[in-house]
Amino acid sequence: MLKAENLCFGGQNMPAHCLNFTLEAGQIQLVTGPSGIGKTTLLNILAGFMTPASGKLSWRGESLLEMPVWERPVSLLFQDNNLFGNLSCKTNLAIGLNPSGKITADQNALIEHTAAKLNIAELLDRFPETLSGGQQQRIALMRALIRDDPIILLDEPFSALDHDNRRDALDLIRTLALEHQRCMIVVTHELSDAKSLGADVLRLDADKD
């Protein structure tokens, strides 16, 4: 279980928030609210790139705030995708599984299977700079999803996707959460995604949390 207790952050350039929530394995939490409210900041705190002003954050009873970034059981999809332009898409995905890029036969099968689910199998040998924004987003989303981390944080993962690809991505996220018991936190402006994912909604507002 992922648990936040009086997790406080913000102030100055954004509203202050103090959040309390729990997320069981297999659950999806949508985080929504206006631009600049602190949605990405929350993901960065969960991932370890930023420190909250106060409060507790734990995973299975162990404090996450005391773990360095590289030890946290977290996979994060950034808004800007962060693909390596000098590497093929498949190598970008392989690095997500092993920093050396060397993968097993089972991991290769996972890449091919998931790429087919997201309709990007034909893109694996291409380089990111040759892809459209939506194609790059699907590669980056896939890299986050195929990792073995139990907590997956997705920052606006559908923004560049058309209707059909968005539906496929929603289906894959819902399946991974349920079948592989992942905790998913998804930042989105589309509240309709909550129904598609069977997710709870955490809305960040300027006047309340």
CATH of the domain at 174: 3.40.50.300
Q: Is residue 100 part of a domain?
A: yes
CA 6 from chain centre, in angstroms, equals: 22
> What is the model's pLDDT at position 81?
67
Q: Could you tell me the CA-to-CA distances from 87 to 90, 91, 95, 128, 129 in Å, in that order?
A: 8, 6, 10, 8, 10
Counting the structural domains of the chain, the total is: 1
Q: Is residue 32 part of a domain?
A: yes
Per-position pLDDT tens, the chain of length 209: 999 999 999 877 789 999 999 999 999 999 999 988 999 999 999 999 999 999 999 999 999 999 999 899 999 888 776 788 899 999 999 998 888 889 999 999 999 998 998 888 999 999 999 998 888 888 988 888 888 899 999 998 888 788 888 888 888 888 888 888 889 999 988 888 888 888 999 999 876 54
> What is the model's pLDDT at position 207?
64
Q: Is residue 209 part of a domain?
A: no
> What is the model's pLDDT at position 208?
52
Range of the domain at 105: 2-59+66-203
> What is the model's pLDDT at position 137?
85
Measured between alpha carbons, how far is 156 from 52 in angstroms, rounded to an integer? 22
Q: Is residue 196 part of a domain?
A: yes
Burial class (CB in 10 A: 0-12, 13-18, 19+), 38: buried
> What is the model's pLDDT at position 164?
85
Q: Could you tell me the CA-to-CA distances from 33 to 19, 127, 156, 189, 190 in Å, in that order?
A: 14, 34, 12, 7, 10
Q: Is residue 135 part of a domain?
A: yes
Q: Is residue 131 part of a domain?
A: yes
Q: Collapsing DSSP states into helix, strand and coil, what is residue 204?
A: coil
**Which structure tokens are listed for 82?**
């962060």
Q: Is residue 122 part of a domain?
A: yes
> What is the model's pLDDT at position 165?
83
Give the torsion through C-alpha atoms of 120, 126, 130, 131, to 10 deg: 10
Q: Is residue 208 part of a domain?
A: no
